[in-house]
């Protein structure tokens, strides 16, 4: 069983991403308000291998106290030692590297441990909301910004070996299926690279 812990700010599409992978609406999603309030494990068996996707409440929903409560929920409901991959989810269509994103990355590092970044993937959602002609440059810039920040934070925690960047980068759109000329089944990526 490959265990994926899915984290990120509220509303970035973590639960929707799980639904995209599994091809059915198992995880509740919401357009207007913070949605996931508990940790849920979604087991899935396929001919490519068995995976478990762990959905978590989004951070930066309210105040610091709320974030800490959600992170404690993760700590109390997930055996972090068994996590094969952290999936950090962020929206591709944001034009700035926002302070809430920095706080989220800092808190994840402080509460879960810097080691979680050493086996991390970056998933950009809302890819279809970025015009085709900008998508590559936007992805490159956002990825660099996030990686630089994770690098700086984990350095403060003396992470050894040091963070070398995300192992896998994916762009997805959980709502629009026709945004890219070529797309690969995500399930095959999860089973093959984990
Ligand atoms: N256009 C577009 N909409 C998306 C995408 N992913 C999610 N959404 C929409 O964004 C809203 C929030 O999605 P959720 O999956 O509930 O987000 P979440 O990260 O699980 O949010 P929390 O549970 O509050 O942490 C929903 O209305 C989704 O339909 C995407 O890739 N593209
Ligand atoms: Mg959710």
**pLDDT at site 179:** 73
The fold of 2-193 is: Rossmann fold (3.40.50)
Token pair, residue 174, equals 């959980």
pLDDT tens digits for range 69-128: 999 999 999 999 999 999 999 999 998 899 999 999 999 999 999 999 999 999 999 999
Q: CA–CA separation, 117 vs 14, rounded Å? A: 17
15 close to ligand 1 (CB < 6 Angstrom): yes
Q: 158 C-alpha vs ligand 2 centroid, how far in Å? A: 31
Residue owning the nearest CA to atom 11 of ligand 1: 31
pLDDT tens profile 1-17: 899 999 999 999 999 99
- Whether 163 contacts 151, CB under 8 Å: yes
Q: Which residues 6+ apart lie within 8 Å of 167 measured at CB?
A: 85, 119, 120, 121, 193
| pTM of the shown model | 0.96
State pLDDT tens for residues 144-176: 999 999 999 999 999 999 999 999 999 999 998
**Nearest ligand to the CA atom of 174:** 1
In short, whether 167's Cβ falls inside 6 Å of ligand 1 is no
Domain boundaries, the chain: 2-193
pLDDT band at 178 (very low <50, low <70, confident <90, very high): confident
């Amino acid at each position: 069983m490959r265990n994926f812990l899915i984290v990120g700010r509220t509303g970035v599409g973590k639960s929707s991403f799980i639904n995209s992978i599994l091809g059915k609406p198992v995880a509740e999603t919401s357009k207007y308000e913070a949605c996931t309030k508990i940790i849920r494990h979604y087991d899935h068996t396929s001919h490519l291998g068995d995976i478990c996707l762990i959905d978590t409440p989004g951070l930066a929903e309210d105040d610091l106290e709320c974030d800490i409560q959600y992170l404690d929920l993760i700590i109390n409901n997930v055996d972090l030692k068994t996590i094969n991959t952290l999936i950090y989810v962020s929206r591709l269509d944001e034009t700035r590297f926002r302070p809430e994103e920095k706080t989220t990355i800092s808190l994840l590092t402080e509460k879960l441990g810097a080691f979680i970044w050493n086996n991390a993937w970056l998933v950009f959602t809302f890819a279809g909301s970025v015009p085709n002609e900008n998508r590559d440059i936007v992805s490159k810039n956002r990825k660099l910004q996030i990686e630089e920040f994770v690098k700086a934070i984990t350095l403060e925690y003396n992470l050894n070996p040091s963070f070398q960047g995300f192992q896998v980068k994916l762009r997805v759109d959980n709502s629009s299926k026709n945004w890219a000329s070529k797309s690969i089944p995500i399930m095959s990526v999860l089973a093959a690279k984990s």
